[in-house]
Amino acid sequence: MSKKLWGGRFKKKIDKDFEEFSKSIQYDFKLARVDVFHSIIHTRALSGSGLLNKKETKTIINALNEIIKEIDSGSFKPDLSSEDIHTDIHNRLEKKIGRLSAKVHTLRSRNDQIVFNEKFYCLNEALNIKDLLGDVLNSFFVLMKKYDKQPFIGYTHTQRAQVILFNDYLCAFGHMLVRDSNRIKKFYDSVIPYIGAGALAGTSLHRKEYFKAIDDFLSFVKSKPGKIKSVESSIDSVSDRDFLIEFLSIISIIQMHLSRLAEDIILYSTQEFDYLDLPEEFCTGSSLMPHKKNPDFPELVRGYTGRIYGNQVSLMTTMKGLPMTYNRDMQLDKEPLFSSVEIIQDELKIMAKFIKGIKLNKKVIAEALLDERLYATELTEFLVFKGIAFKDAHDIVGKLIRYAEDNKTAIKQMPDKALKKFCAKLNSSDVAKVMHAEHAITSKKSIKKRVPKPDA
């Protein structure tokens, strides 16, 4: 077992099973790089306050930078016998600089480190998710271009409703993704990693030393990681996991959108609908039935909704009723966080490729578009523009549809005489024009046909 960051007051050794049970290194090793950032800022604050001399500061900072290089090159392997990543980085530092490492944790607590690390992690991953949402959006644009002007069948209650453009259908998902992207952006702007909370009560280092240390640190990092500030309420800072719950909520909403997209894809690619042909590279076969081409990717996306919603509920339940301030319960925030972030990124990455590969079965769609019920609303509107009250027009067309259904005929096949029994304003040439995909689409004037640009 590796060395711990505590132990002086204990006479007995920790129980082995409990020690295993309490460790977080097996998942919080992901925070290694950010944990070193915290150490660099903290070391500079200690130095500015006179608690480390110039030589000591240089030795520590150089060693910390070496650790970052090891992390970046992949040669850093966490010692899985460490209690957590903070302990592990500390032990690594001790290996490099010996006793001097004991000064780095001066006036510092893991309670402050962990929340700083998690906020940094969220900032980075929020940007990644925003980029991936952009990729999926671009794939929708590719499909839109390919099927520009293609009419499609619009549903309500999973029943045929009205004719729409396939592009307008895709555009709806575009709007969802843009809202997701803007939610992520707002979240990114709102997260502030603080430093200097100590265990809960703050530290005796002056705020301005922390600010100086932060500025110093920021001047060395290439990509700007958002804002870092000297802590305001130290008690709130170490207690706060709102940002994680917010992030998981945003991810849940993205997931909800993806699950609806997945469900439509699954439905529309069934033999019953047969509107879509799915890219084979993302489907699988059956070990028994030779003919099967199963939509496993969208099925897994739909299925992961359980995991992602579960992660959010798990964290909210962990946080419920926790006494102020830090409690060890909060260690359990990381697995749901990492799980949701990883799943959503995988899904978006694959979705961007998958969408581009979808093909429309134009023949099947053309046949479905012959269904006259899809134009009942347009025919009603036609009568309204001829001066008939909407409710009366609704009734006339309802009866006409019912008559055609009962007599197994098509309204478009009915002669003027038969049509006029329902309404004097009807005639077969108007009916033919109105009950047509082109009319259904061009008559819609209320839609602005574009996907807004996501906030930069």
Active-site residue numbers? 157, 286
Shortest distance in whole angstroms from residue 242 CB to ligand ARG: 16
Contacts of ligand ARG in 85-144 (CB under 6 A): 110-111, 114
Nearer to ligand ARG by Cβ, of 243 and 354: the residue is 243
Residue closer to ligand ARG by CB (options 91, 331) is: 331
Contact in structure between 160 and 373 (CB atoms under 8 Å): yes
CB 269 within 8 A of CB 278: yes
Residue 111 or residue 312: which is nearer to ligand ARG going by CB? 111
Within residues 319-358, the interface with ligand ARG by CB under 6 A covers 326, 328, 330-331
Please tell me the distance from the alpha carbon of residue 251 to that of residue 345, in angstroms, as a whole number.
10
User: How far apart (Å, rounded) are the C-alpha atoms in residues 229 and 128?
Assistant: 23
Would you say 84 or 180 has its CB closer to ligand ARG? Answer: 84
Cis amide prior to 158 (ω within 30 degrees)? no
CB of 175 to ligand ARG, least distance (A): 38
Residue from the set 35, 84, 240, 372 that interacts with ligand ARG by CB under 6 A: 84
Give the nearest distance from C-beta 327 to ligand ARG in angstroms.
9
Alpha helices in 74-109 (DSSP H): 85-97
Q: Is 34 in the site for ligand ARG (CB under 6 A)?
A: no
Nearest approach, Cβ of residue 326 and ligand ARG (Å) = 6
Closest listed residue to residue 150, CA positions, set 282, 276, 261: 276
Number of residues that bind ligand ARG (CB under 6 A): 10
Provide the CB-side half-sphere exposure for 19 (13 A, CA): 13
Q: Among residue numbers 186 through 225, which ones bind ligand ARG (CB under 6 A)?
A: none
Residues 6+ apart with CB under 8 A from 78: 25, 29, 32, 85, 88
User: Cβ of 52: how many Cβ atoms within 10 Å?
Assistant: 22
24 binds ligand ARG (CB under 6 A): yes
**DSSP single-letter state for residue 155:** E
Say how far apart CA 50 and CA 365 lie, in whole Å: 76
Tokens of 229: 């500030």
Report, in Å, the least distance between residue 25 CB and ligand ARG. Answer: 8
Output the smallest distance, CB 164 to ligand ARG, in A.
49
Sign of CA dihedral 181, 187, 189, 191: negative
Give the Cα separation of 420 and 412 in Å (integer).
13
d(CA 62, CA 57): 8
359: which strand partners? 277
- Of residues 326 and 375, the one with the C-beta less far from ligand ARG: 326
Query: Exposure pattern of 356-389 as b/e (b: 16+ CB <10 Å)?
Result: bebebbeeebeebbeebebbbebbbbbbeeeebe
Query: How near is the Cβ of 199 to ligand ARG at its closest, in Å?
Result: 7
DSSP run (H or E) holding 341: helix 334-356
Per-residue binder mask for ligand ARG (CB under 6 A), 141-160, x = binder:
--------------------
Q: Which is nearer to ligand ARG, 78 or 295 (CB)?
A: 78
When the beta carbons of 174 and 196 are compared against ligand ARG, the nearer one is 196
Which residues from 351-410 bind ligand ARG, rule CB under 6 A? none
Show the DSSP H helices in 225-321 as ranges: 234-239, 242-268, 296-319
Shortest spacing between CB 87 and ligand ARG, in angstroms: 9
C-beta closer to ligand ARG: residue 24 or 339? 24
> Which residue's structure tokens are 């920790």?
14
Which residues of this chain interact with ligand ARG, rule CB under 6 A?
24, 28, 84, 110-111, 114, 326, 328, 330-331
